[in-house]
Amino acid sequence: MSETTTHIADLRKSYERAELNEEASHADPLRQFDQWLQEAISGQLPEPNAMTLATVAGNGRPSTRVVLVKGYDERGIVWYTNYDSRKGLEIAANPFAALQFHWVELERVVRIEGVVEKVSDEESDAYFHSRPLDSRIGAWASPQSEVISGRSVLVANAAKYGAKFLLQPPRPPHWGGYRLVPDSWQFWQGRRSRLHDRLRYTQQTEGGWLRERLAP
């Protein structure tokens, strides 16, 4: 074991940038999320829209990957991907998922849980056709999560579909959007001495959200 690895347990950081309290936070978690995301964007953080997506297979085995949020409103959080990928197959078997945003520079984390549904074909079509041409061809070229013999497979597929569709590739039937409909949000703000701020919002059956402070 290297000396660097030996000392990794000694790494420490004091969180002192901001605070999160019940009085200053929004009663609606979507508004709180929007405020924090906009602050991450205006702060020019690297890939502020990157989020970890956690899904669970039918056999109970979890997996995570990083995807990019492409839209959000009162209906939920939207991203786009290959329906035949591992995450797509796991969502088909178990339509519940969790998202996590980690804005390191702001010492903030947002966790979101809920049920996942596909967005409409119209939404998927509109987003697909807004993408750069290379990205649209790439959606056809990559059999996502499948074993391939080498990068040459992707290059050959891209050339094949580029020649076939030219400048107007249609949206592949295996590609489109998902929307996570939240029923739980958590907002974490790092604080000094590990006494972090952590607020949880839970959707109520009669409507609205219950906001509670959790021990960090």
Q: Which residues participate in catalysis according to the annotation?
A: 194
| Residues found in the chain | 216
- Cα–Cα distance for residue pair 78/165, rounded to 1 Å: 27
- Cα–Cα distance for residue pair 76/60, rounded to 1 Å: 25
Which pair of tokens denotes residue 153?
């497979």
Q: Are 3 and 183 a contacting pair, CB within 8 Å?
A: no
- Cα–Cα distance for residue pair 185/203, rounded to 1 Å: 9
Spatial CA neighbour of 33 closest among 132, 111, 134 = 111
Helix (H, G, I), strand (E, B) or coil at 42: helix
Please give the distance of CA 186 from its chain centroid, rounded to a whole number: 14
Q: What is the four-CA torsion angle of 37, 40, 41, 42, rounded to 10 degrees?
A: 120
Backbone angles phi, psi at 17, to 5 degrees: -75, -40
Farthest-apart Cα atoms in the chain, separation = 60
Which pair of tokens denotes residue 41?
């964007």
